[in-house]
Structure 1
Amino acid sequence: MAFEPDNELLQDFLIEAGELLNGLDQQLIELEQSPDDADRLNSVFRAFHTVKGGAGFLEVHPLVEVCHRAEDIFNLLRNHEIAMNSRIMDVMLQVIDVLNGMFDDLRAGQYPEAVSPAFLDEIEGLARQSDEPAPGEAPAAEPAAEDEAVVAEDDAFDRMLADLDAAESDQAPAAESSGAADDDLITDDEFESLLDELHGKGQFQAPTPAAAPESEAKASAAADSDEITDEEFEAVLDELYGKGKAPTAAVKPAEAVPQPKVEPAPKPAASTASASGSGKPAAKAKPAESAKAAETTVRVDTERLDGIMNLVGELVLVRNRMNTLKTSFENEEIASVIATLDMVTSDLQGAVMKTRMQPVKKVFGRFPRVVRDTARTLGKEVNLELEGEDTDLDKNLVEALADPLIHLVRNAVDHGIEMPDDRETNGKPRAGTVLLSAAQEGDHIRLAIQDDGSGMDADVLRRKGVEKGIVDPDSAERLTDQECFELILHPGFSTKEQISDISGRGVGMDVVKTAITKLSGTISIDSEPGLGTQINIKVPLTLAILPTLMVIVSGRKYAIPLSVVNEIFEMADKEVNVVDGQATITVRDRAVPLFRMTDWLALRGESPGQRAETDQVVMVQHGAQLMALVVDSVIGQEEVVIKPLGELLRVVEGFAGATITGDGHIALILDLPGMVRRHAGSRGRNRLRSVA
């Protein structure tokens, strides 16, 4: 059976129920850590119930079967008939995986297959377990506070009945029926029943003539409804008990306490509760307010946002062109208009970028499950801490960062955190901690993965690098600790002696580095033996519009991503030396590798560039290493729109794309990591000796 992929009801269900399902992973892990959290337990129960309801409406029966059984288990947990333990959590996490698979089928337009009866029986079997927790687990905390609240509610209800009995002993039935109130207003039939109980059937007399005009006005106001207002009911109470003598003392307890056990017969107590003039009516206003707030949002297809962003990008190019032409006009009015266009374009660019932003917690929400599963597989105890979940990031970056971060978090648990017994021996808590944080720094986002594990030993990494042929022994001796840490980013490098399902193949960190580089980001590693490791990732807020430094090399313009630029200085007064065949320049008593960009970017037939007094040096960050790039001149900073290269040029390393500059020419955007891989090898070093 197939679904229409563009079915509007199906798409709404997939979006809304999918959001609930995405949040369940993290909620379940939090619930395992605090099983007595009634609010979170109710939230999980409601999520399964909502998904089941939508699936039932669409007649997706396999989904309904799974959700219904999961809902039953959480209902038993809510009622304290069973206790939370790791077995329940393991099965429920499997349920989430099964539901995600079904959602994938629905998104593809396919009817999901029914789950095996054995899995359904496994879920149902959780309901037959003992209330005792699994071995090694602490028993769930008794909901003492909840029991006290129930007792308080019962006492309040008893006091209400006693007050009504004291006011009029023959009106007890009416008072008892007040507990069934679940609305602010009662119908005419319920009101007539109340009058019959108070005065005897047919014995109630109409209001006095003096009150008739007022009663008629109120009656006409309610003519179109079967319900009476608070004022009408208060008038009746005044007539029954005398003005101001109605038993309002019993009202307040009734307001705050829902009475599920009372017979749901007539509902006069609903109006009794409203007689206080505040409380229930105010409470009813909240759903209306939330409904009004919900109407202020609208779902927009991401393709439309991408289209708008592309148009804004073109507008940015026009703005840059206008700014370049502004100097050729000797007209203040034209210059003022161009300045206004510049300001409005910048504001529009910022507004459109915000529509594409998503909180990074969309990615962070996956990691509690990742850490739990990895730690259980390895027999470790690990706590995950999240910071900066509300930091906003371009939606494309949010999706692209998911896989690299999963690699890094798994590595932190596998390589970083020690076994519980080893941690105790070293004076650490048995449970290790992994901290995942995000923060905005200017026009970039900094992500950090930090653990309090064993850390990395630079000497061990040097030895491994030599063993695997990544560096030669002489070069390894000259590596700084920071450069040793960078060795783990090389393909095939791993400190694990045995290959497992989680690590040991030496491909994870290489994949991370490649993915971060594609996002125009940087990655750095810092570690200290015995204390832990921290990995920092820096990526731009958006990939659509990129801040760059425009430079001229061999008479042509090139754009260097501003995120990798450290500083700029003139070449004239700098001394160049050659160390081990590599040209270097001394900057603040530090030798930095020097490369002339004309050698890298010269066209066929062009002679290599020679040193000139006007040369300028751009210091860039390549991983943990600083590099000095010699260019003919620096134009300045410019925001550019990245345009993809054609099929023939995509295979050429060293170029991230192209853009149109302010003067209307095309400039290539440099991909420095790719440029270094292509040119800074042994073949390139021999040519660069002529730099001095």
Structure 2
Amino acid sequence: MGFEVDEDILQDFLVEASEILEQLSEQLVTLERQPDDKDLLNAIFRGFHTVKGGAGFLSLTALVETCHKAENVFDILRTGQRRVTSELMDVILRALDTVNSMFAEIQNRQEPTPADPALLEELSFYCQPGQEESAAPGSEPVAATPADINTIESLNEQEYQQMLGELNTEQYSEQVGIESSNSDDITDDEFEALLDQLHGAGKHGGVPEAESPAPAAPSAASSQTGDELIDDGEFEALLDQLHGAGKGPTVTPAPGGAVPDGSKPVISSAPPAASRPAAPSKPAAPPADTTVRVDTKTLDSIMNMVGELVLVRNRLLSLQAGHENEEITKAVTNLDAVTGDLQGAVMKTRMQPIKKVFGRFPRVVRDIARNMKKEIELEMVGEDTDLDKNLVEALADPLVHLVRNSCDHGIESPEEREAAGKPRKGVIRLTASQEGDHILLGIEDDGAGMDPEKLKSIAIKRGILDADGAARMSDNEAYNLIFAPGFSTKVEITDVSGRGVGMDVVKTGISSVNGSILIDSEKGKGTRLQIKVPLTLAILPTLMVVVGEQTFALPLTNVNEIFHLDLTRTSMVDGQLTVVVRNRAIPLFYLQDWLLRNGRRERKAHGHVVLVMIGNQQVGFVVDGLIGQEEVVIKPLDHLLHGTPGMAGATITSDGGIALILDIAGLIKAYARRYA
């Protein structure tokens, strides 16, 4: 176990490996669609190799073994000795799941659980060349390919030493025609044998003894040391044969022009003076590292301090409004601008691309399609859209539920699609874009769509809705029935869906981050869901309202419209007070009945109506006064107030007071039926 090493080294490995494993999940699914992409094969090979190297340094043997076998499979694939198949990808993806499980254990400082021996055996099988692609017995060895060179360059020290050991064997010596020796030097015979291997027997520039002409004027060196030595000119000629004229290393003679007896010529790698290029200029210094890793807790702390600064800014703006001092006005205005810039800069440090969530969906879609024998293509748009890190984490599970739901309920089987005149392959489209201070996420499919009447009948059968309510329900309201707890259109429960909890979890998760979800569908054409979430959770844009003598904050993302209360536009429908807006009756509630200590009070004939949107539903709240829009920092409620229905937290207002932040969805769920 390698956890006793320096914590910084372990953290570096965890960060690097986490990024690589995220990429591998998407790269493997892409490879199945593009099996001949050499760059992709090499990238996946390097990914497993890098994780293996880091794990080896930390002595994480189980992780090293699995990554090594996966790496070997891709070494076989990229050299063309096997082809990518769906069965092979099933094994590799299972191996990646195993690696991810081990990685999670390492993050928790636990010893990684060894891989299933059956999985390792399957990987070992695919590490061997495929029979249909393997070379015939006795065939000549092929020259090294670029992939082979990459393999050699990526060897670690241990593998390199092992390779050298294998080369220094009697078998290899016999192949090249030399005798093994314990000495580091090689004899003339060994040197000749090596030249024969490089150029062919008798073709390496040496002259056979029988045809060797007598030298006309032997040099001093040759006369002193015997016929076995060659003079400078002959040595230069040999180098020209090996490297090309003028391209080989030169011989630097000893002082006096002779080579001392028993010594070897001194070889210099510098070219001759005539052809020697000018000395190169000093290479430029490598660019300085412009990134630094910061713990997310530090970023959260900085963001909290910026939030406090925003509250002070709001307070100063409120105080400055009652004074006419020009200098104070300038100072407060500058503070307002600087605070806004600082807030934006700190928010950027917390931003992450939505790709961190989208990156897992190709694997999800691939597995479901293969399991259910469907043909599904996934399209992703706007993967570089940034949003708050906490939102990325909070949206991961809801989006996975929605994508799985589109695969299972939305896209039909290839046979059903053909019968309906559609292409066999269905399409699921994920989109992300920023609009102002909100992020819009879309999940769209071209599947069967939803039948509102069928949804109503299921809701009646399961006791979620009565017949009268179903008769008055619009199609859009019927689509929202899928978010009801326990609602499911599946007859049989599978490992994908059917328990009636997925979509309820989706709505709860999105509401918890002050988001909203809209749904639209057309039978036989497909379904589209749109999720709207704030850009960040740290600072919340709100509408400040007055109820009685108290101030409350409504999240601006839920506010749809504001108008003055006119009792002539209200009426009672089935015992519920409603207001007619553009020929549509909308439920109307007096917030004083829910929020003030005295409960129901005399309802005023004047006030303001704030229309809020919950999913596809609109509700009107009657308030006594409007203060305006204000950015607030959410402060958690004291533990004694935890669980208070409809309360998301508290904040300090610009006038120094305290306001409760309302959770619209929770408020309606807790009070609507009670006070209807």
Which interval holds the TM-score relative to the shorter structure? 0.7 to 0.9
Instruction: Determine whether 1:665 maps to 2:657.
Output: yes
1:610 maps to 2:616: no
Q: CA deviation at 1:7?
A: 1.5
1:552 equivalenced with 2:546 (yes/no): yes
Distance 1:171 1:428 in 2: 75
- The residue number in structure 2 matching 1:636 is 628
Q: Distance in 2 between matches of 1:467 and 1:611?
A: 41
CA distance in 1, matches of 2:602, 2:273: 99
Offset, 1:106:
1.3
Note if contact 2:95-2:119 (Cα within 8 Å) is conserved in structure 1. Answer: no
Structure 1 residue 371 corresponds to structure 2 residue 365:
yes
Report the AA paired with residue 11 of structure 2: Q
Say if 2:499 is the partner of 1:461. Answer: no
Gap change, CA 1:12 and 1:585, over 3 Å in 2: same
Mark the structure with the bigger radius of gyration.
Answer: 2
The corresponding residue for 1:337 is 331
Structure 2 CA distance, aligned partners of 1:567 and 1:339? 30
Match of 1:301 among 253, 271, 295: 295
Distance 1:276 1:671 in 2: 75
- Alignment check: 8 A CA contact 1:598 1:609 kept: no
Contact 2:249 2:268 in 1 (8 A): no
Whether 1:195 and 2:189 are equivalent positions in the alignment is no
Is residue 320 of structure 2 the alignment partner of residue 326 of structure 1? yes
Are residues 5 and 276 of structure 1, via their aligned partners in 2, closer, same or farther at CA, if it must alter by over 3 Å? closer
SS in 1 for 2:339: helix
1:358 matched to 2:352? yes
- Which structure 2 residues correspond to residues 228-627 of structure 1 after superposition, within 5 A? 233=271, 235-237=273-275, 292=287, 295-572=289-566, 574-604=568-598, 607-613=600-606, 615-627=607-619
Structure 1 equivalent of residue 191 of structure 2: none
- Structure 1: gaps (5+ residues): 134-144, 148-169, 180-189, 206-225, 239-274, 686-692
What CA distance in whole angstroms lies between the structure 2 residues aligned with 1:313 and 1:622?
27
Letter in 1 for 2:456: R
Which letter maps to 1:348? L
Answering whether residue 14 of structure 2 is matched by residue 20 of structure 1, we say: no
Residue 641 (structure 2) pairs with residue 680 (structure 1): no
User: For the residues of structure 1 that align with 2:21 and 2:308, how far apart are their CA atoms?
Assistant: 38
Deviates more, 1:123-132 or 1:552-561: 123-132
User: What's the offset of the Cα at 1:601?
Assistant: 1.1
Contact kept in structure 2, 1:434 and 1:452, CA below 8 Å: yes
CA distance in 2, matches of 1:76, 1:553: 72
**Which segment drifts farther, 53-62 or 123-132?**
123-132
Give the distance between the partners of 2:256 and 2:79, measured in 1 at CA. 46
Alpha-carbon distance between aligned partners in 2 of 1:479 and 1:176, rounded to the nearest angstrom: 89
Q: CA deviation at 1:18?
A: 1.5
Residue identity over aligned pairs, in percent, reads 54
The offset of 1:204, in angstroms, is 13
Structure-2 change in CA distance of 1:417 and 1:178 (3 Å): farther
Are the structure 2 counterparts of residues 482 and 227 from structure 1 closer, same or farther at C-alpha, using a change threshold of 3 Å?
farther
SS at match of 1:680: helix
Distance 2:256 2:65 in 1: 55
Deviation at 1:146, TM superposition (A): 9.9
Query: How far apart are 1:566 and its partner, in Å?
Result: 1.2
Aligned amino acid, residue 14 of structure 2: L
Q: Conserved in 2, the CA contact under 8 Å of 1:5 and 1:108?
A: no
How far did residue 576 of structure 1 move?
1.0
Query: How far is the alpha carbon of 1:11 from its aligned partner?
Result: 1.0
* Structure 1 or 2: more helix by fraction: 1
Matched pairs, number = 573
- What is the 5 A alignment of 1:640-659? 640-659=632-651
TM-score of the superposition, structure 1-length normalised?
Answer: 0.78
Contact 1:653 1:675 (C-alpha < 8 Å) held by counterparts = yes
Equivalent position amino acid for 2:659 in 1: A
Query: Which range moved further: 383-392 or 51-60?
Result: 51-60
Secondary structure of 1:24's counterpart equals: helix
Contact 1:551–1:559 (8 Å) recurs in 2: yes
The CA deviation at 1:6 is: 7.0
Distance 1:675 1:381 in 2: 43
* Residues 393 and 574 of structure 1: CA distance in aligned 2, closer, same or farther (over 3 Å): farther
1:321-345 deviation digits (Å, cap 9, x = unpaired)? 1111112323111111111111111
Q: Which residue of 2 aligns with 1:177?
A: 243
CA drift at 1:94: 1.0
Q: Structure 2: which amino acid aligns with 1:616?
A: H
TM-score, normalised with respect to structure 2: 0.80
State the Cα distance separating 1:55 from its structure 2 match: 1.3
The superposition leaves residues 626-660 of structure 1 with CA deviations (integer Å, 9 ceiling, x where unpaired) of 11111001110000000111222221221111100
Q: 2: CA distance between counterparts of 1:204 and 1:548?
A: 93
Q: Which amino acid aligns with 2:428?
A: V
